[in-house]
Amino acid sequence: MQSSPTVPLSNGLQIPILGLGTSHHGGYSNEAVLYALRECGIRHIDTAKRYGCEEALGKAVAESSVPRQDLWLTTKLWPGDYGYQSTKEAFRASCVRLGVEYLDLYLMHWPDCTVQGRSNREVRAETWRAMEDLYDEGLCQAIGVSNFLVPHLEELKEDCGVVPHVNQVEYHPFQQPRVLMDYCCKEGITFEGYCPLAKGQALIHPTILQIANKYGRTASQICIRWSIQNGVITIPKSTKPERILENCQVFGFTLKEDDMECIKRLHSDKKLIHLTYPLWKG
């Protein structure tokens, strides 16, 4: 398998532009992870404490025999662990579950917090200071955020010292947050997209199917190719080896500009991922 091209972060590190996502509710498979690492050349895996599969993933990575230095491993801090000391404790616990001494990328999972009686901005800033310390100590190669919008990023820029290296956000043909993407580009924040197949909804859209037929490719390959051709780090999820193989075969062709534009016009501001925990505003 052809290895994934990489995208530079503002600190000079290179992150593979294609990775394997994991999730909760049946969104993890040891067989799939091993297949991705051993047979498909995947070297970028994304997970989170919330998904409940860090320990299983750590065992699969060890079993794969892929050298640690060759693997890009991302996990995320859940809002219930926000706060300076609790962030550091949650980080250490994630490392233990994953069986690693450092993370390549550590993300704040959501901008809203679950610390009652304190403002979201205050808790975000305190949490980010802990993230900065982990980064300065070399325990995280890069730090970032997930699901942050421009106002959240603006506040973080005012309150803290290190600009996030990555912002991971829902991104697919129906959800193309261009204002946010332009802001991230201007501020040197690398944009990463999850849910590239729109939970399967993009795979049955007539425009996607027509383009897939034109190139002799599958609908999922068209969606992933479109995403990475836009320079977006892309992390499709699958627990089926045959689907993972299909999703990796996206570097042997290029979409023409008119086809890129056709998919761009599918944007309808449709969000498929929403918060599932109570929030305390402030």
Active site residues: 51
Residue recorded with tokens 């049955």: 204
Q: Do the beta carbons of residue 127 and residue 91 sit within 8 Å? A: no
Q: Do the annotations mark residue 44 as ligand-binding? A: no
Instruction: List, as residue ranges, the binding site for substrate.
Output: 109
Instruction: List, as residue ranges, the binding site.
Output: 109
